[in-house]
Amino acid sequence: MNTNTIQKLGLKIRVERQKKKISQEKLAELADLNRNFIGMIERGETNVTVRNLENIANALKLDIKELFNFII
């Protein structure tokens, strides 16, 4: 993934989280991740594993492929 894709993915996660009115803290709890890590993902500062993406998608009640809808 290039930096631009990582940033777009992070923004997509933030948008989906905010649409569901979930805080970063709550998303982190639901996805079994650290809140600071969620912030880094949303800002596009770190790459994320497929396992963590799956946890985030499940926490947001989305299919993992929906997190990549920004590409089209």
Residue 38 structural domain: 3-71
- 40: CATH: 1.10.260.40
pLDDT band at 70; cut points 50, 70, 90: confident
pTM above 0.85, yes or no: yes
User: Structural domain tally of the chain?
Assistant: 1
Give yes or no for a contact between 28 and 34, defined as CB atoms under 8 angstroms apart. Answer: yes
C-alpha 27/C-alpha 25 separation (Å) is 6
* pLDDT digit string, tens, across residues 24-56: 999 999 999 999 999 999 999 999 999 999 999
Return left, alpha or beta for 61; rule: phi > 0 is left, psi -120 to 50 is alpha, else beta.
left
